[in-house]
Amino acid sequence: MAKKVVKKKNRTKKINGFRIQFMPYSEIKNEGSTERIRKILDIAFTNSILILQGRLKPDEETRLIEDTMAMIGHVKNFKGIELAVISPHENQSPMEKLKYKIATRLSGADLGAITIIGPATVVREIKQDPKKIELLLTK
């Protein structure tokens, strides 16, 4: 009688189809707003989650939303992005905030912040509160 070969089931599920990419701010520091946003969206189009050192300016963040909306329907399977920014100055005292502002002004960017941008097809939701950020991925 032939012995049945029972394969052991792999308990950890493999998640296919996404990468995490880290980008230092120096990568976009000398670019104009249009080029910065194009670089960010190009990464989102490749199903990668981008962790960017620093943050965009407020008008660049809205421009990112505008350009994202313009690309939905034009790039195959692109349904938008999930976006979150963690900035250390949220819970600082007025004095600390002032110091942070000066440092930001001198370095030309809010380098203490981290921006997370993920394609909506990969990141279902980013749960954000002042202390933590949780990325919920699609199955």
Q: What does the binding site for another protein look like in residue numbers (CB under 8 A)?
A: 58-59, 61-62, 65-66, 68-70, 72-73, 79-85, 120, 126-130
51 versus 65: smaller Cβ distance to another protein: 65
Instruction: Please tell me the distance from the alpha carbon of residue 45 to that of residue 48, in angstroms, as a whole number.
Output: 7
Smallest distance from another protein to CB 31, Å: 20
28 versus 55: smaller Cβ distance to another protein: 55
C-alpha dihedral, 25 to 107 to 57 to 130, nearest 10°:
80
28 versus 82: smaller Cβ distance to another protein: 82
Cα–Cα separations (whole angstroms), residue 38 to 10, 34, 78: 40, 6, 15
Number of other CB atoms surrounding residue 93 within 10 Å: 8
As given in the structure block, the two tokens for residue 58 are 């407020």
20 versus 70: smaller Cβ distance to another protein: 70
Smallest distance from another protein to CB 92, Å: 12
List of residues 6+ apart from 73 with CB closer than 8 A: none
Instruction: Please tell me the distance from the alpha carbon of residue 66 to that of residue 56, in angstroms, as a whole number.
Output: 14
129 versus 139: smaller Cβ distance to another protein: 129
Smallest distance from another protein to CB 8, Å: 36
Smallest distance from another protein to CB 80, Å: 3
As given in the structure block, the two tokens for residue 54 are 């620093």
Smallest distance from another protein to CB 121, Å: 9
